[in-house]
Amino acid sequence: MRFSEEKTFKFGFYCLNALICIYSLYMFVIQKGASNESEILFCSTFVVDAIMYYLKRKN
């Protein structure tokens, strides 16, 4: 991957992570406490991080 492609790729993953985290917080506030949906969404941010780490190490 070229440098600009890599930066775009990382930016996309970081944006995806941020959106999932914000939506998870939104679900937490709307439901006035912890719920399964918000916890699952928040945990999915770690999955996205793991995928990004794997792809980074692969290159």
Give pTM, 2 decimals: 0.64
Q: Distance between CA atoms of 42 and 49, rounded to whole angstroms?
A: 11
Across the range 7-34, mean pLDDT stands at 80
In the predicted model, is pLDDT for residue 19 greater than 80?
Answer: yes
> Could you tell me which residue, 33 or 27, shows the higher pLDDT?
27
Return the pLDDT at 59.
62
Closest to 27 in 3D by CA, of 15, 39, 43, 17: 39
Q: Which domain holds residue 8?
A: 1-58
Enclosing H/E stretch for 56: helix 36-58
What domain count does the chain have?
Answer: 1
Q: Distance between CA atoms of 53 and 59, rounded to whole angstroms?
A: 10
| Beta strand residue intervals within 1-55, DSSP E | none
Supply the DSSP symbol for 34: -
